[in-house]
Amino acid sequence: MLRTLLSVLAMAILFVGVSSAQDLVINEIYYDGPGTDEGTFTEIKGPGGFNLTGYTLVGVNGSNGEDYRTISLDGMVIPADGYVVIAQDETVANYDYIDSGVDWQNGPDELELRLDPDVIDGICYGYSELLNCEGGTNGPDVSSGSSISRCPDGVDTNNNEDDTTETTPTPGETNACGIEPPVEMTLCEAVALDGEGFPVNIDVYVHITSPLLVLTNDGTYSVDRVDLGATDGECCVNVFDFDYYVELNEGDEIDLTGTVAFYNGKVEISGPSLEIGLLSSGNPLPEPENISTEELAINGNDYESCLIMIDNLYITGGDPWPPEGSNANIEITDDSGIPTTMRIDKETNIDGSDPPEEPFTCIGIGGQYDNSAPYDSGFQILPRYLDDIISTPLPEHVCCVGELCYITTQPECVQMGGEWHEEWDECDPNPCIQSPTQETSWGEIKSIYR
């Protein structure tokens, strides 16, 4: 009888423990702060007073499916309000515990709540076939400055795609699942920068008041996601979202609503709640602005995501010309002598081609890759396709080195120590041999031509 009673009590205790564990969910993950990550956090929701001793948070790497970090929750207790916030540092509002390990990797990855050997809850952010995601689906790999959150708050139907969305961070509070009306802004207002090159409207949900013209074809730099440059004729922006796709091509006119985001120096309109409406197609693109490598290197923020062109270019360093399927950052320089970067993206048809004959002209979208403040370096030009790289050989004319005649370019002539004559195109007869002069008088000349 006693043995039976103890068995019943043990089963009851086990039942209560399992039931409580099933009430635990990873409610919000903020893993990608703007710039150098700080203020990241993970929020768990569950019964107030629940002791998390024995539980762990485990980061699973989407590139190989293996655990890359484990955080022990021993000694942590869920507060009475039902939200426990584990913060990277003390800058996080409403934090309960500090552990720098909650600065999780950017996706595609998974965060799991475990009570070994069981996985109590998990959220996949971004797609990887190597991850074992709830419902076989993933939530969004959110943009910098946003959280992936359960919406409605705390709901878990064991399907990541249905249960999670991109939101503004709300540590220790109900998830921001409701969508406030966007702020009406011009594009120039939306992408305005502070003195360090950081967007003053970061995380603001905006509607751009004027139509934008798309500058790049669908799939130019990314496949199956929005990644394009756009302009209203005055300012430009990159429109990007990992989990939003609509087929757009250069010359499309769009209506744009989304959240101001930031990625390694580049201002973007992204999620959450990115919406793109197609207004018209086949519109002519603006002429690319013709600038120098020096202008791009020094004032690149003025040309970010705009269509630009640089003439008389030579390859002076950086990566070798990329084989097919590879990216490359190639150093290029023009007559200014100040180098900048030509970024060849493997999604274009440029990788695997032959390097251009020098000098050449490059047309492309202005870009930036700078991961630390002030964001005033790392500027790039990104050609969109092979036709954006145009060989422009220098003209060849007569070069006189003494009385020797050569047909060559002006730089080569100067290097040879000669005089370059743009007005002459042939060395036969040799224009470099001047007829000797002879002394005479005005009277003799008059007598000849009388």
CATH number at residue 96: 2.60.40
Q: Indicate if 296 and 333 belong to the same structural domain.
A: yes
Check: CB of residue 210 under 8 Å from CB of residue 234: no
Mean pLDDT score of the chain, rounded to an integer? 89
DSSP secondary structure letters along 41-108 = EEEEE--TT-B-TT-EEEEEETTTS-EEEEEE-TT-B--TTSEEEEESSTTSTT--EE-GGGSPPPSS
Dihedral sign of CA atoms 425, 429, 433, 438 in order: negative
- The per-residue b/e assignment along 339-352, b for 16 or more CB within 10 angstroms, e otherwise, is bbbbbbbeebebbe
Mean pLDDT for 19-47 is 86
Beta-sheet strands, E only, within 97-204: 97-98, 109-115, 118-125, 147-150, 164-167, 183-185
Check: CB of residue 350 under 8 Å from CB of residue 385: yes
Q: Which segment of 8-17, 99-108, 229-238, 271-280 scores lowest on mean pLDDT?
A: 8-17
Contacts 24+ apart (CB under 8 A), 220-224: 220/345, 220/347, 220/348, 220/384, 220/385, 221/345, 221/347, 221/348, 221/382, 222/347, 223/347
CA atoms of 334 and 213, how far apart (whole Å): 29
Q: Indicate if 94 and 112 belong to the same structural domain.
A: yes
Q: Indicate if 231 and 297 belong to the same structural domain.
A: no
Q: Indicate if 27 and 43 belong to the same structural domain.
A: yes
Residue 10, both tokens:
């043990």
Look at residues 136, 167, 198 and tell me which one is the last residue of a structural domain.
167
CA atoms of 307 and 296, how far apart (whole Å): 12
pLDDT at 38: 86
Q: Is residue 53 part of a domain?
A: yes
Q: Indicate if 229 and 161 belong to the same structural domain.
A: no
Q: Which H or E run includes 449?
A: helix 442-449
CA atoms of 215 and 365, how far apart (whole Å): 8
CA atoms of 251 and 198, how far apart (whole Å): 29
pLDDT at 257: 94
Q: Is residue 38 part of a domain?
A: yes
Q: Tokens 């249905």 map to which residue?
A: 162
Q: Indicate if 34 and 135 belong to the same structural domain.
A: yes
The rounded Cα 219 to chain-centroid distance in angstroms is 14
C-alpha angle 204-207-208 in degrees, rounded to nearest 5:
115
Q: Indicate if 87 and 211 belong to the same structural domain.
A: no
CATH code (residue 318): 2.40.50.140
- pLDDT of residue 387 exceeding 90, the answer is yes
Q: How far is CA 423 from CA 26, 392, 399, 419, in A?
A: 77, 20, 11, 12
CA atoms of 29 and 87, how far apart (whole Å): 10
- pLDDT of residue 218 exceeding 90, the answer is no
| pLDDT 10s digits, 73-97 | 999 999 999 999 999 999 999 999 9
Strand, helix or coil for residue 307: strand
pLDDT at 11: 38
Q: Is residue 18 part of a domain?
A: no
Q: Which segment of 13-17, 43-47, 100-104 scores lowest on mean pLDDT?
A: 13-17
Check: CB of residue 418 under 8 Å from CB of residue 398: no
Q: Indicate if 384 and 411 belong to the same structural domain.
A: no
Look at residues 357, 376, 391 and tell me which one is the last residue of a structural domain.
391
What is the C-alpha radius of gyration for the chain, rounded to an integer number of angstroms?
32
Q: Is 337 left (phi over 0), alpha (psi -120 to 50) or beta?
A: left
Q: What is the helix, strand, coil percentage profile of the chain, to 5?
A: 15, 35, 50
**Position 21 confidence tier, pLDDT thresholds 50, 70, 90:** low
Q: Indicate if 271 and 192 belong to the same structural domain.
A: yes
Look at residues 167, 201, 222 and tell me which one is the last residue of a structural domain.
167
| pLDDT 10s digits, 125-181 | 999 999 999 999 999 999 888 999 999 999 999 999 999 999 989 999 999 887 678
Q: Is residue 212 part of a domain?
A: yes
Check: CB of residue 220 under 8 Å from CB of residue 345: yes
| pLDDT 10s digits, 271-312 | 878 889 999 999 999 999 999 999 999 999 999 999 999 999
**Position 3 confidence tier, pLDDT thresholds 50, 70, 90:** very low
Domain count, the chain: 4
- The per-residue b/e assignment along 163-198, b for 16 or more CB within 10 angstroms, e otherwise, is bbbbbbbbbbebbbeeeeebeebebebbbebeeebb
Show the domain range for 273. Answer: 183-280
Instruction: Find all residues with CB under 8 Å of 350, minimum gap 6, and list them.
Output: 322, 344, 383, 385, 386, 388, 389
Q: Indicate if 43 and 161 belong to the same structural domain.
A: yes
Residue 78, both tokens:
């869920």
Residue 32, both tokens:
């990608």
Q: Nearest Cα to 142, choosing from 270, 276, 275, 305?
A: 270
Instruction: Find all residues with CB under 8 Å of 351, minimum gap 6, and list them.
Output: 322, 323, 324, 325, 326, 327, 328, 344, 345
Q: Nearest Cα to 125, choosing from 150, 97, 88?
A: 150
With a pLDDT cut of 90, the percent of the chain lying above it is 78
- pLDDT of residue 442 exceeding 70, the answer is no
Q: Tokens 């070069």 map to which residue?
A: 399
Cβ neighbour number for residue 380 with a 10 Å cutoff: 24
Q: Indicate if 383 and 405 belong to the same structural domain.
A: no
Check: CB of residue 141 under 8 Å from CB of residue 124: no
